[in-house]
Structure 1
Amino acid sequence: MDNSPTDIQQFDAIAPVCDQLREQIGKAIIGQQATLDLLLTALLCHGHVLLVGVPGLAKTRLVRALGHAMDLPTARVQFTADLMPGDILGSELIQHTQGSNERHIQFVKGPIFTSLLLADEINRASPRTQAALLQAMAERQVTIANQTHALSDPFMVIATQNPIEQEGTYLLPEAQLDRFMFSYTMAYPSEKDELAIALLRDESVLEQIKPVVTQQQVARWATLIRQMPISDVVAKQAVTWVRATRPEESQSPQLVKDFVQWGAGPRATQHLLVGASARAAMQGRPTASTDDLKHVIPAVMSHRLVLNFAASAEHVTESQIIEAVTKL
């Protein structure tokens, strides 16, 4: 990160603006603070999020509220078995040239050309359609008919899965799961929050949310966060924890050797470090600590661990594996 006055001012603005974002989004969303903080963290890292939760937990409403508060365009795609890649990316259509009999091919953009894309029930689409998101998530661009089209900056995919119904669904391949920076299971609201939700009658609250940041500011913040210094201690700790999830490593806990088939790859280390940096920036600190690593590691690791059949038989979970790893 440059030490220019402008960059310093931009960086110092991250924490207070995040507080304002929570306040504005709180007008429409009751509770779910952990989910909101995770989405903000991912957005500031150019990352993507997989949300797992039962219907009715305000996932769509949260994305819309985030878009209102950050002045970002949003789009929602309901994934179904008959959804095609062109329904997401866009397609080329033959159009009449106005004022003549000539025809031309025109590319019509799909809903992916937005800043916040809600991929609702992503596991209901076929693997072919799921794969259409791979290039967009990794490179923030899509290639159609040998033409490359840049996506918005920032661009984030927020995908959802229903943990109850599994009929007619397709498991996300490991390559696509690895593209998600975070995976998070949304919990039911507390009794106090659920009472407030039950009494909420005003459907116009989303329109009351005022933008507190611009799209250009968010893009600049993401750049600044990736330029934040990382201490050798924090970097080494991140590498140690990620390598400890691999059963073939000598320093791996016995729980990993017994119950993990495949551990996390190097991208997990990158996401762990940039996520910790973003959390530090959101709290007004210039560099990440090991506490920041511990805070983001469950969301970074849970979808990257492949457990074996013994883990299923013994009811060993990803959370237990992560807890054992972070004790090193």
Structure 2
Amino acid sequence: MTIASTEISADHQLFREKVADVHKGYEDLKTEIGKVVIGQQAVVDLMIISMFTSSHSLLMGVPGLAKTLLVHTLADATSLDFTRVQFTPDMMPSDLIGTEILQEDRATGQRAFKFVNGPLFTNLLLADEINRTTPKTQAALLQSMQERQVSAAGTTYKLEPPFLVFATQNPIEQEGTYPLPEAQLDRFLFRIDVTYPKQDEEIRMVMNTTSREESTVLPVYTRERLLEHQALVRAIPASETVVKYAVSLVRSTRPHGEGANPFASENIRWGAGPRASQSLILAGKARALLDGRYAVEKEDIVALAQPILVHRIMPTFQAEAEGITSAKIIQHCLDTVRI
């Protein structure tokens, strides 16, 4: 065996050990979250994938489905700084970013402005009822989500990694809300639909939350370990065949374009952009890595297509009237795209 082949073998062994460490960390995370959150495994998996890809996600569901608890528990299990912000119509960008205050040095009597960080300066931000605040405040959040930095009084402030936004939106309450702009929706990796628990899960939930015993979530991830594993996600290979499938799937949602699906062209106003293709591959890499695998497969793309594409395509008014949803259009594309 040559020296070069020995080095390659050692690199492969190190990579396998790192993949195994990520898989163990994933299982530990699920165990700790499961102490508090009963069921909702599909939701938990998507949230963990979002975290490992350093991406933001939008949680949709009626009140009382533990959306806030889910995010808070994830923060507890990862030792991340957590901040919850309740968005309201009178909220200003400074309430989110921070503001300058005038301070006086008692020793010298000199006065100077000092910037005081707002709740945006955290690792894990829960933006509760994000669609209740004005477009001006939403724009301030958009900058932080896109650029991982904020601007105030002519100065730019970097947000320390990891910086993740999990936003909630109530789908049944439309009064007094401001629709999220398409540019902001596109910044969310997933739209995660949080549904009602199953009967046995709800029984366990009620028993756990009405007893004297309180479950304690132990941190199983440090910030440094999480950043290391986030970097490892991008090292997972994706074959040209898998990338071609992801791109073809996204392009099939674009009406009247090359590779467009006829059913999609008939029923949507616009389809998903290139960021959706990137998201499918990146999230697919994270899903494979968390599962202990060394490459992305087509099944990863299929499994993640709905939460990645559902908020990136817009059905026509006629389609909505006929009950043709984004989910149905995406499923039709999944059934017809071939590689």
With the length of structure 2 as denominator, give the TM-score of the two structures: 0.93
Deviation at 1:10, TM superposition (A): 3.1
d(CA) in 2 for partners of 1:300, 1:205: 35
Instruction: Confirm or deny that 1:222 pairs with 2:230.
Output: yes
> Which residue is equivalent to 2:120?
112
- Aligned-pair distance for 1:28? 0.9
CA distance in 2, matches of 1:204, 1:314: 49
Would you say how many aligned residue pairs link Structure 1 and Structure 2? 326
* Separation (CA, whole Å) in 1 of partners of 2:321 and 2:225: 49
User: For 2:188, what is the secondary structure of its paired residue?
Assistant: coil
CA deviations on 1:221-257 (whole Å, 9 max, x unpaired) are 1111112211011000000000000012243222111
Look up the match of 2:315.
307
Partner of 2:135: 127
Paired with 1:63 and 1:148, the residues of 2 have a C-alpha distance of 28
- Asked whether 1:260 is paired with 2:265, we answer no
Q: Which residue of 2 aligns with 1:248?
A: 256
User: Is the 2:251–2:258 contact (alpha carbons within 8 Å) kept by the matching residues of 1?
Assistant: no
3-state SS of 1:199 partner: helix
Q: Shift of the alpha carbon at 1:61?
A: 1.0
Give 2:84's match in structure 1, choosing from 76, 89, 114. Answer: 76
Q: 2:240 aligns with which of 232, 235, 256?
A: 232
Alignment of 1:54-93 (within 5 A): 54-93=62-101
Partner SS, residue 106 of structure 1: strand
Does the aligned pair in 1 maintain the 2:29–2:220 contact within 8 Å?
yes
Secondary structure (helix, strand or coil) at the match of 1:326 reads helix
Letter aligned with residue 93 of structure 1: I
For 1:143, the equivalent position in structure 2 comes to 151
CA deviations on 1:26-47 (whole Å, 9 max, x unpaired) are 1111111111111100011111
| Aligned partners of 1:142 and 1:150 also within 8 Å | yes
Distance in structure 1 (CA, Å) of the matches to 2:104 and 2:212: 42
The amino acid across from 2:298 in the alignment is T
Unaligned runs of 5+ in 1: none
CA distance in 2, matches of 1:310, 1:215: 48
CA change 1:10–1:107 in 2 (3 A) is farther
- 2:189 maps to 1:195: no
Residue-by-residue CA offset, 1:122-164 (whole Å, 9 max, x unaligned) = 0000000111111111121112222221112111100001111
Q: Please, what TM-score do these two structures have when normalized by structure 1?
A: 0.96
Structure 1 82/20 Cα, relative in aligned 2: closer, same or farther at 3 Å? same
Within 2, Cα distance between the matches of 1:151 and 1:32? 30
Distance apart, 1:191 and its partner CA = 0.3
Cα shift readout 1:243-289 (whole Å, capped 9, x = no counterpart): 00001224322211110110000000001100000000000001110
Mapped partners of 1:114, 1:139: distance in 2: 15
Using the alignment, how far apart are the partners of 2:101 and 2:15 within structure 1?
Answer: 44
Q: For the residues of structure 2 that align with 1:195 and 1:253, how far apart are their CA atoms? A: 44
Deviation, structure 1 residue 98: 3.7
Q: CA deviation at 1:202?
A: 5.1
Distance 1:255 1:29 in 2: 39
CA contact (8 A) 2:149 2:156 kept: yes
Instruction: Please identify the structure whose Cα radius of gyration is greater.
Output: 2
Aligned residue for 1:159? 167
